[in-house]
Structure 1
Amino acid sequence: MNCPVFIKVAVAVVLGAAAASTAGAANFHPISSVTTSSTGDLWPVSNLIQGPGLGFANAEPHDQTGSGSSALWVTGAPGGFPSDYLAAAGVPVLVFDLGSDVALSEISVWGYSTTNANGVSRFSLRFATAAEGTENFGSSISISPAFNPMIGAISRQSFSFGQSVTARYVEMSCEDNFYSNGGNGPPPGGDRVGLGEVAFEVAAPPSGPLIDLPANVGLDLDGSVQTFDIPIGNLGGTEVLTVNRTSFTGVHAEAFSVFSAPASLAPGGNGSIEVSFNPTGLSGTISAGLLVQSTDPDAPTAVVGLSGFLHDPKLVVARSYDFGEFAAAEGAQSGSLAFSNAGGGRTLAVSDTSISGPDANHFTVTAAPSNLLPLTDGIISLSFDPLGEEGEFDAQLTITSNDAADSTAIVNLAARVGEVIPNSGVRINEFMASNGLTLSDGDGNSSDWIEIYNAGPGVADLTGWHLTDEADNLEKWRFPSTTTIPANGYLLVFASGQSSDDYIDAGGFLHTNFRLGTSGEYLALVESNGVTVVSEFGPTFPPQFNDVSYGTFQSGGSVSNLIGNSDAEVLIPTNGSLGNTWQVDSFTPGGDWISGTGQGVGYDIGQDYDQYITTDVESELRNRGTSAFIRLPFTMANASTVTALSFSFRYDDGFVAYLNGEEIANRNAPNLPAWDDVANGSVNENANTGTIDVSAFLGELQNGDNVFAIHGLNRSTGSSDFLIDVSLEASVTGSGPLSFGYLSSPTPGLPNSDSTTPGPVIQNVSHFPAQQPLAQEDIEVTAEVAPRLAAITTVNLVYRVDFGTEVVIPMTAGVGSYTATIPSSAYRSGDMVRWYVSAADADGNFGRAPAFLDRTGNNQSPEYFGTVVRNARLVSRLPIFQWFTQSEAAANTRSGTRASVYFDGRFYDNIFVRKRGGASNGNSQKFDFNKGDDLYINSELPSVGEINMNERGSDSSYVRQTLAFEAYEMAGNAACKSALWYMQLNGTFDRVGVFIEQVDEDFLDRNGYNSESDLYKFVQRSNLNPVFFDTVTGIEKKTGDKNDLTTVQNLVAGLNRRTSTARRRYVIDNLDLPQVVNYLAVRSITQDADDVRKNFYGYIDNRGDQRWRIFPWDKDWTFGVTGDGGTHLPHPFFGDEEHAKQNANQWNVLYDVL
């Protein structure tokens, strides 16, 4: 498997329009009809299919012969003039019907040209056969014609498809347009879209037979005599392909033979060569070449590389064995560990079984076979003796054998005796190793966190105690003096990896010198002596997921949102006649109350709060009032069972909350607010959420009817937004013993919720073939499943092809694992195949892998495991990025959707994708991978959380963006990694995408900067002041507290000091001048037309040397794409006040000072 690399190349680029063929005989196929998605066309779409002699000349170069409206198609102008048609009405789509299936080779188009010219400047094509119909277009091709946008006669341009495409229907999407009024009109993009003529040329049949074979085939060798099918095809269109001879070459050629092969293949036909492999006398890596001699004139001898690892003998054993939990009085326990030899040819020789680890003296191997014949099973007999002790016991069993790939297999042994997790004293109660949006620390960062709970009795003094993530370094981080926790109290510690052991953030929270690993690691709380482990997760806690916490829970417990099914009742008061009567359950709302939906009440003239609002009150509240009375009625059958109560909220700008008339919480609100009061001030939108313990008000709950009431407050009548979104969660304590597990919802500083996975434990889910299966290969899925609270009753594999219906298959129990097979008949070449494993126990508890805990929110994780069936025709010298989404339309919106990605042999499920970029970026997306499941690109970028996949933008050559970033990097600047990738969407060609690394914490870490220092992005400003003149607009903070702009405010103040001497001194003292000067030199070389007021990042190492740097962004307006740069663009001081952009006099104060 080849890893994608970043190749530095020297490229000679001819800037401007791509060349298009205008000579040579053409064999046009007549078009039967054409339809369009546009409405109100000025001139009809039927004008595009007039044909030779009418629309274009019979003889080359087939110039357009019509004139005026009879020879042109053009849309209406739904946005009026001036406007951009695409922004007003979307992409117009034409569908051409050729009457029957035809082999096509190219398209010819004639441009649109008339007064107020509005022509197509980019379109894409998709094709469908008669059988597929217009609902199943595929094989996308993107084309950018080089029409001269000036008024005048337009000649034919032809674009080859690069291959023969068989289709009856051709879909043309007009993705971009230009406007020209004698060269003096507004920028590209007009109020209409038009074309002059369209014609399709019939492909000439291939001259002879054309063999189709895979270049390489990976073999899974198990030690037995096996056969493998090698696909073969004839891509020729007219002649039979004859297979003359097959043979083998290479180191292990003699081990292979051909069992059967087709003698010939008809044009377009497919078959397979059945190859047999005999492993006698062989081991290790096997390789050979299959030689196929045929009548293909261009490749009379084709070679298929065959390779695999002969895993024989093959030890198969579960990697964990749990004796379970039992009372000390039960004494010694015995157990049986099943294992097998999956090799088909050699005996497995077990030379040693030994036990090591902290509690090795409690475990014993009482019997074990020394040999296992091929394809047989065996038992290793074990015993465990607590020796009068209680607690949790762990050790490792090492099985040494002649398995060349796994000569020392390790099995983790575990047992629990007595009260394993004491429900008294101090313990690590909950932690989160992948904190996305759950909780911010006092610095505004989403650091990992650990919750310590004191179950009592009495106050716990943690002075000098330790937290650690290393079993061999129990004193890694030390609690400071006077650290105490009251009985039934909680202490939150952020695991942020600080360089200082005694760091305390602005919110007063402690921070450790280590972070938590999402893949699982050791975690312990240790007494001050540095030896006694009080609470631990070992040897490692299981894999963690984004915004999912892990900790202790009691079976039988539950957490429920008391108002989860309530619909809001809302009143915008016009006087104070109600007093406080509306806050109690006995109140009956009148006809002036709004009957809402759900618990989210508010409005937003933007989009930030749209996902939280279920009852919109903009027309009732905005410009009319500042208060909203909100009632959420609910009922309870037995209020006495609730042992804890928590209140979660998201608000803008203030509130007071009441439970059955009793005030329980308030934020940003005056005391005893009147009906027309306002919030105390504006809320920080990055700090307007919270969860608080309101268990002190448990006595207010009552059997029967209850009401949770909120007085919502806005800062002014004309405010742009208002929000109240709340939940009231009741905890019922379970009756079972404390256990560890994933929690249904994170509750930092509050009683833990119940477990979401109390059922069987599912781990080590694997599949074969391990990479991409061939279309004729089944997928075998294996999982290790172990009981947790009760015996396992069922284990199922649930699979899904693309976005089809889920199919359930029972999994078969084997030696330490369960197996099921997804049949190859369920999928085709290029399909995405996904699956999960579910298991149930005798008590009705369920387990699932992947866990997929958040199914609707912003903190999701993989829903399935998966792969993509290999497409032998999908070959490119570029890295291939395959992505799948159920809604292509949603993926091209700012709100986005979920998607799956297959890249470089790895599958990433249920990630987030959305449209990115400004007006010139077109079909560009941002892919946000789930935290803890980052994208692996190569060894240089092994862990990337977010990437940008740009369209070419204004760069017709596709290389400007990548070359520009490389130029910055070669000059010593930190710059985004960038490369061209081949993109495949839902199994068909999407585009050549420009991969651009995201400038974020990962970028800072990779370039040796402090990722906890301040990073700013400079974007489009809403006023005409130069950038760095103020901080009112055009600045987005990307790290830390997003609302704290102190560092950039200081920069602006320094750059605007009164005298040039003071400004010069400020720059010398506060900028990394060598870096900034290098940046400016490269922007001059690249002739960047678009980074004067935006499209760059500013970074200050405010935790280090306190100096500013600049990082580049958005580089399609470079190397000759002048955009709106104007006449000053070539000047080395472009962007200062003297050499400003002529477009709105744009300039940059920082450039000017330098």
Structure 2
Amino acid sequence: MKWPRSLGLIALMAIAPLPTQAQEVRINEFMAANVTVLFDQDGDSSDWIELYNAGPGAADLTGWHLTDSRSALAKWRFPATTIAEGGYLIVFASGKNRAVAGAQLHTDFNLDSDGEYLALVRADGLTIAHEFAPAFPRQVRDISYGAATDATVLAGGDTLLDALVPADGSYGTAWTGPDFVPATPWLPGVPGAPGFEIESADPILPEPLGSWELDGDFTDATGRNNGVFGGGVPVFASGCDGTPAGAISLDGVDDRIAIPTGNGFPVFNRPAYTIAMWVNGLPQPDYRVYCEGSTTSNSPLLTIGTETTGTRGTVDIYVRTDTGATLLNHINSAATAFDGTWHHIAWVDENGQCALYIDGARDSTAFNYTKTALSLNTTAIGCVLRAAASHFFKGRIDRVGVWETALTAEEIAHLAGGASPGAGAYDALIGTDLETAMYGANASAYLRWPFSIATPVDVDSLELSIVYDDGFVAYLNGQEVARRNAPVELAWNSHATIARPQNESLRAETINITAAAGALRTGLNVLAIHGLNAAADDPDFIVAPVLRAASAAWGWRYFPAPSPGAANADGVEGFVADTVFSTDRGFYDAPFTVEISTATPGATIRYTTDCSTPSPTHGTVYAGPIAIARTTCLRAIAYKSDLLPTNVDTQTYVFLGDVATQTGAGFPTNWGLHPIVYAVYPEVTTNPLYAPTLENDIRSVPTLSITLPVADVFEGTTGIYPNATQIGDYWERGCSAELIYPDNRAGFTINCGVSMHGGSSRNWTSTPKHSFRLYFRGKYGPSKLRYPLYGPAGVREFNQLVLRACYTD
């Protein structure tokens, strides 16, 4: 998990331990329904398991095992593998069975999101190092489960630092110890990083929500949302400023960068936001450089990319609501941005009052629209990312920045002139201004953050996360624990050995200093840092550290913001209790009312009746019984802060009289040249042989109701039915499926995926009616349908179901 970043603060956190063994290696976190959080080397969103070594010392896992079977403890075997003390290891539970030393590791099994046994077993194949028995609890899409961190802040927001720009070497190193008492001329500080930044004529940009320089990696300079690359092997090419390997080069096949949800992302629903980046690509049809979407519905979208025909190099903006209505329907710029050379683009949205800037100049196209909230949970660079990725951009992208404010024309011109998205961010971080004392006088500063520990802490790991420009030497209670860009012989007036670029300096570097944990003591402690600027007259300087200690966990929690490869934080204990409907699905011939409830006090319920997917931001807030007087698909979700929301529950109420008279009102009226008939044929409904018994005839057979947003099925360009010949993950949609029996015996309801099925039967020239296939996957709900569909003696578990198979399908 990502630790909360507060760059101007020192935070020492103690975390209570789980029961441990002499050397504890444990399963620290795992994900059994991974969709967008982490991609393996093949570009697949495989399930994953994170191991953590609490020490003491490095852990040799050679010959150890992972298993999902209590009766086969030695199921998958580790190659030669070592985890450093305080280190993490990711193993993909993909079923691909790869166990090569030094390469990405893949077990020969997958994880069942419904819950199953999971264990880490020592090399003898018998001794269990850590297990979830008899099974870990139910898991949900893109939410991990693992050891909770119950953090206690020992030094943080109210801690004052002391600073001195030394005039000579009289203090030696005594100032780095806890017993040193600073006095005049030491400067008492305020919360915030010590430093300075000489003002220039250029505007100071606000701190971005996220900033990705893409100079050889996918690090977010703010430290909050590091990108996750998916596709082939990432390729970096010359950047917008000519920096070698200074931009990501995307192949247009499957390359993309996913931005983890949380910490402000997706950004669309904020009152104002700005998205800016450099792009270099040729005209191409409807490929996207930035997208915010949903894994549960294909309808809500914000995308920025190329125009749809691929014949022009203009910028295309597309915004669509949860119900499939378009707010900005492929509105294009007047100016060109995709012509095989570098161009800067910036999209500014202030409550629907919008502007697109290309190379710092506002485009003449009008983009204003009436804004409405969207149910979004994905963010990506270089593609459209929903349940699957698509619309892959081919070309280079550099210096991506996203802000939760509308940047001014002057600020955008500054970016287009070559400024980094993080330019000027020092000013926002600095709380102790050292310009007067330091600039032009000395490149060195002595910095002390005292903190107290009332009782001893059992520390498993100790981290120093630090933003710095240009170098430092760090001490814990007088013991040196880390240094960067510092001379071997340190003096009172030393300077850093290199000058760091500002965009690099803004990236927090995390340093494992667990070996120094023994320096902590009960009572007064101090973190001391000798800060180093590149020269006395260098125009900017900053040191912003975060010191963290961890002692494992209190228990197990769900993590809405997973972070494989780092410590866990900010988890929730469980779920909101499932929604309960007073009236069950079935066949009806008279109006009635439905009440919806949840056993969780204080939870809010939202519902929809238009087949769209309810969410904490979409749907009607439940306030009392709902009147049902016609065929209705009632969908609901319950949510509450600090708990995970329920899944979407669906209840379909079929009024038999409506079936015979349905017209398809509100559905698309045409799909190009394809004929559309939503109604039951009048040859049946008006035929005296059938009409009198039609309602009873319908009631006499089981009914399978499939509910999903109308646009996901019938919209001409993205709906799966009018595009029945299309195949692949992109053409699969999330839905709910309900089996309704006419005699009111229990059927089933399940959230799953649906796509078109068949060979030649997909073609409109063969038949206008097409087959469907249901997929039971963890990213939608249960990973299997468990129901005796063919009676007590028949098959009871299903990975897929085919509906209305045609010909030999």
What's the TM-score bracket when you normalise by the shorter of the two chains? 0.3 to 0.5
- Per chain length, whose mean CA-contact separation is higher, i.e. which structure has more relative contact order (CA < 8 Å, sep 6+)? 2
Instruction: With the length of structure 2 as denominator, give the TM-score of the two structures.
Output: 0.37
Instruction: With the length of structure 1 as denominator, give the TM-score of the two structures.
Output: 0.27
